[in-house]
Amino acid sequence: MHETIKDIRMEDFDYLLSDGKIAKYPVNERDHSKLLLWNKGVCQEKVFYELPEILPKGDLLIYNNTKVIQARLRFHKTSGAEIEIFCLEPENPKDYGQVFQTTKSCEWQCLVGNSKKWKEGKLSETVMVDHRIIEFTAERVEQLEGMSNVIRFEWDNGEVTFGELLEQFGQLPIPPYLNRKTEESDKRTYQTVYSRIEGSVAAPTAGLHFTENVLRELVLRGIYEDEVTLHVGAGTFQPVKSETIGGHPMHKETISVRKTTIENIIKHLDHIIAVGTTSVRTLESLYFFGCQLMKDDSEREMTVGQWEPYETEYTTEPSVALQTIVDYLNKHHLPDFEAETRIIIVPGYQFRIVNKLITNFHQPKSTLLLLISAFVGGDEWKNIYNFALQNDFRFLSYGDSSLLIR
């Protein structure tokens, strides 16, 4: 099974997506976007604000509360050359909550644009934060595997946090396929209305359609809500360059889930709606973390490997695996479960937690499209995407969405 999974050909997940189908901007009112309802193999066109009428009472809707940071930093050398530093994940301190509160200095794993023009030395820019002039510098301290570097940032005011510097100096990293520069409106439209935990370099875009009104209607109609955190990494834009999925290295992402949320999921198993693929990856990863803890519940850093779901035949009931995490958190007096996942969900994957999925329309030959195929089964994704293309649905991050009911 494992080798068969790795042999999945990416060319089988290609489709023609013209530039005209890619939404460059969102609709004026978030919840007026189109919603494709796929239920038992039948596609229907709806409007997103109808979602509360469609979902059954008693379901639990889980969204990703991560907030996109202004992760692109543009420095200029005295020669005039522009060096773009793209913050990926914190290195020192490694904790997201701590790093945004640091003063004076911190270190991040970053991608560096125009790297050849920056051989050595510090880059420096003057930044204004609350009428205070800050000298902000960047220095490359280590070259990591692949394209990333460890960059040390320093600034000369102990009252200013790194988070405040990003807010003033950074730019929101909108997806490259929009083929345009970040605009002031993106600061609002490229965040979900429920975003609150800083750390992502890309939005969990399925959540962009929600409004306060839709969330309120969901509650009034007896649909429960809860949240998880997965900080979306730059790997979400990484194209699959290999002919088969086995040659694609899945990126690592940090997840955080409250104990009370896991208890809530246990109560509502078989009635779980995931908002977005990031929520799916978080929720499904929890199952494997529970299975790991059943074998070894010592305090340690845990991760779900890319191929772990396919390498072993797991027979543990989801409720048992999730309760094992709750017991672990109780034992160690922890309010939240935090870990890292590289899980890849492809055709052949057995879903343990998620029953319904709200998601946008994804790029051809992408890992996200493989996840959709795994969720709906067989070649059914082609019928869904053909319906969307023929009925003028808008694609990718600022595009329309779908509700997929298995």
Residues 356 and 212 in one domain: yes
Show which of 116, 147, 171 is a domain's final residue: 171
Residues 302 and 370 in one domain: yes
- Domain membership of residue 224 (yes or no) is yes
Closest to 62 measured CA to CA, from 329, 280, 377: 280
- Whether pTM > 0.95 for this model: the answer is no
Q: What is the pLDDT along the chain (406 residues), one digit of tens a residue?
A: 456 899 999 999 999 999 999 999 999 999 999 999 999 899 999 999 999 999 999 999 999 999 999 999 999 988 889 999 999 999 999 999 899 999 999 999 999 998 889 988 899 999 999 888 999 999 999 988 777 899 999 999 889 999 999 999 999 999 888 988 899 999 999 999 999 999 998 999 999 999 999 999 999 999 999 999 999 887 766 778 899 999 999 888 899 999 999 999 999 999 999 999 999 999 999 999 999 999 987 777 889 999 999 998 999 999 999 999 999 999 999 999 999 999 999 999 999 999 999 999 999 999 999 999 999 998 999 999 999 999 999 999 999 999 999 8
What is the Cα–Cα distance from 225 to 229, expressed in whole angstroms?
Answer: 14
Closest to 370 measured CA to CA, from 383, 360, 384, 381: 381
Residues 158 and 238 in one domain: no
CA distances from 237 to 223, 292, 321, 365, 366 (A): 32, 29, 31, 12, 9
The structure tokens listed for 235 are 């790997």
**Domain span at residue 249?**
2-67+187-405
Residues 26 and 85 in one domain: no
What is the Cα–Cα distance from 137 to 123, expressed in whole angstroms?
Answer: 5
The residues near 217 (Cβ < 8 Å, ≥ 6 apart) are 49, 52
pLDDT recorded at residue 244: 95
Residues 75 and 63 in one domain: no
Rounded to the nearest angstrom, the gap between the alpha carbon of residue 198 and the centroid of all alpha carbons in its chain is: 12
Residues 268 and 314 in one domain: yes
pLDDT recorded at residue 193: 97
Going 116 to 122 to 128 to 129, the CA torsion angle's sign is positive
What is the Cα–Cα distance from 164 to 127, expressed in whole angstroms?
Answer: 10
The structure tokens listed for 51 are 């979602």
- DSSP H helices, 38-158, are 51-54, 96-99
Show which of 147, 171, 195 is a domain's final residue: 171
The total of structural domains in the chain comes to: 2
The structure tokens listed for 198 are 């800083």
